[in-house]
Structure 1
Amino acid sequence: MFEFQSHLIFPTHAVPKAGPLPKGAEQLSVEAGKGITLHGVRIPPDKPDGSKTLILGFGGNGWNGQDVAEYLHELYPDFEIVAFHYRGYAPSSGDPSGDALIADAPLAFDAAVDAVKPKRVIAVGFSIGTGVAAQLSRKRPLDGLILVTPFDSLKAVAQSMYPWLPIGPFFNHEINAVAPLRGSKVPVAIVAAEHDELVPTLRTDALRKVVGNLVFDRTIRRAGHNDIYARSDFHDAMHEAVDRLKA
């Protein structure tokens, strides 16, 4: 199992390719060293609200960056939206890993800020992207974090999925969300799924306990890890979360 760890955690072969760019969108790119280029998508607001807010998205392991950007644009049509394809997720080059995603996040932030020149930046992470966004808060100034189906430790999530296996000593892709958020002053919003079949409630609760500035916390009833995104009460929670971060 362990030799296929990367394929299990980063199923790049199964991720749908991005379609044509939405109207008004533009491609972004940034060099990540050693011939590796990260590609992203910027979608401008339909009707700018004057706040010059940038939503920087970090998707789950089964998302391409453009789908993340388009989904966030549907949620927040009046904000600037940027999301990058993770390393190894086409058209970005290289090989994905926990360390690589963490290292690439500040590069995505810098490229997005350079393109948009925002007054405020809110990072939104979905699933594995919650850990990436949390780690980003250590290295770049964020005005808030929205974490959807978050966890404390990717290693701990993996161990819960395979309790009969000694995951710890062999896990190569740890993404820890506790260390950067413990005692942090960055405002954090958590949106969890009541019946999350991938991230156990125990793992989300462990993160809640250490967040230094938790300003919004909502669990979507009867929602699972994947079907949460189509729920109207989830959409409402995401809007409330942004409002709370802006307060």
Structure 2
Amino acid sequence: MNTTSKKMAAGMAGFASFLWLGLTAAVAANQRRLVFNPVVTPEVPSPRSSGHRTRPVVLRANDGTRLCGWLMTPHVPGPHPAVLYFGGRSEEVSWVARDAGRMFPNMTVLAMNYRGYGNSHGDPAETHMVDDGCALFDWLAGHGYVDAGRIAVVGRSLGSGVAIQVAKERPAHAVVLITPYDSVLAIAKRRFRGMPIEYMLRHRFESIKYAPALKAPTYVLRAERDDVIPHSHTDELVAKLAQLCGDDIVPGSDHLTIPYLEDTQQRVAFFLATRFAATSIQAALPAAVPPALT
């Protein structure tokens, strides 16, 4: 190789290194958009559940940050079993209030936008989402319309990682995971091959680490076609879930449409109603009478 060729090769290598460093820096600097991509525009302008009393609520996180969302309570006086819903990466949750009558019948429902989403203040972060989720669970458990012993958590996509961590920290009665994943870190490594993602990513959502500790019955729903979370990443999580009750694929669904489909909503409603009813029946049974001593 002559001198000119060596200089060209060195220049190309230097340029490639510059591009790699630049791309690495861009990924590190844009984690908020890449991981969260907050949506502030309401998906449903004036959401109302056909089966609930629906009211907007404003709650304060433990650090005082204002969180906004909706509380849906059944028309019949309670206390009722309850659901705490966690949305996806680019999801504003007003649609849950609209669809709660079909998805969560006869259940009290709390759907709050993450920090930076909808009208909620602050910036999203994994630690904030989990801390806020635990605080919302506690608030819901103390609500007069709620049977504190029967609160389920439901998480979609990114929110499945929040739901798993909240269910690990709080006594969730049941867990529903819609298009869940093993970890955001694993997905990022798949997408950004050759980059030191493990040293850059602050929001890892490593659900696979917490799955074995879940005590609540867990139901998994997958999209038939999912180009965001490949089924292999869901397989890894499912293999670690301690109390897996079902793992279904919703026909005709993809990653974006799955929560809105009637099939999905009926599956979620049936699973939760069955779990809640089983506990209610068990609680109503008389205590066993010990045999008389002879």
TM-score by length of 1: 0.89
Partner amino acid, structure 2, of 1:122: A
Partner amino acid, structure 1, of 2:179: T
Give yes or no for the alignment of 1:20 onto 2:51: no
Q: Mean Cα displacement is larger for which, 173-182 or 124-133?
A: 173-182
Aligned partner of residue 25 in structure 1, secondary structure: strand
Which segments of 5 or more consecutive residues in structure 2 lack a partner in the other structure? 1-26, 279-294
Quote the offset at 1:140 in angstroms: 1.1
Which segments of 5 or more consecutive residues in structure 1 lack a partner in the other structure? none
Q: Mean Cα displacement is larger for which, 19-28 or 2-11?
A: 19-28
Give yes or no for the alignment of 1:68 onto 2:93: no
TM-score by length of 2: 0.76
Give yes or no for the alignment of 1:56 onto 2:63: no
Query: Quick one: structure 1 residues 39 and 223, their matched pair in 2 at CA, closer, same or farther if it must change by over 3 Å?
Result: same
Quote the offset at 1:108 in angstroms: 1.1
The whole-number CA distance in structure 2 between the counterparts of 1:183 and 1:206 is 15
Query: Quick one: structure 1 residues 74 and 240, their matched pair in 2 at CA, closer, same or farther if it must change by over 3 Å?
Result: closer
List per-residue Cα deviations over 1:137-188 (Å, max 9, x = no partner): 1221110000000011111122223334332210111112123220432110
Query: Quick one: structure 1 residues 165 and 222, their matched pair in 2 at CA, closer, same or farther if it must change by over 3 Å?
Result: farther
Q: Mean Cα displacement is larger for which, 130-139 or 170-179?
A: 170-179
| Alignment partner, residue 152 of structure 1 | 182
Quote the offset at 1:72 in angstroms: 3.3
The whole-number CA distance in structure 2 between the counterparts of 1:161 and 1:237 is 31
List per-residue Cα deviations over 1:76-135 (Å, max 9, x = no partner): 232111111101213211110112111111111122222333241111111111110100
Partner amino acid, structure 1, of 2:37: P
Paired residues in the alignment total: 245
| Alignment partner, residue 6 of structure 1 | 32
The whole-number CA distance in structure 2 between the counterparts of 1:222 and 1:65 is 23
Q: Mean Cα displacement is larger for which, 18-27 or 35-44?
A: 18-27
- Structure whose CA Rg is larger: 2
Among candidates 221, 233, 236, match of residue 263 of structure 2:
233
Query: Quick one: structure 1 residues 98 and 56, their matched pair in 2 at CA, closer, same or farther if it must change by over 3 Å?
Result: same
Quote the offset at 1:241 in angstroms: 2.2
Give yes or no for the alignment of 1:80 onto 2:105: no
Among candidates 129, 148, 163, match of residue 101 of structure 1:
129
The whole-number CA distance in structure 2 between the counterparts of 1:66 and 1:222 is 24
| Alignment partner, residue 166 of structure 1 | 196
| Alignment partner, residue 142 of structure 1 | 172
| Alignment partner, residue 31 of structure 1 | 60
Aligned partner of residue 160 in structure 2, secondary structure: helix
Give yes or no for contact 1:188–1:245 (8 Å, CA) kept in 2.
no
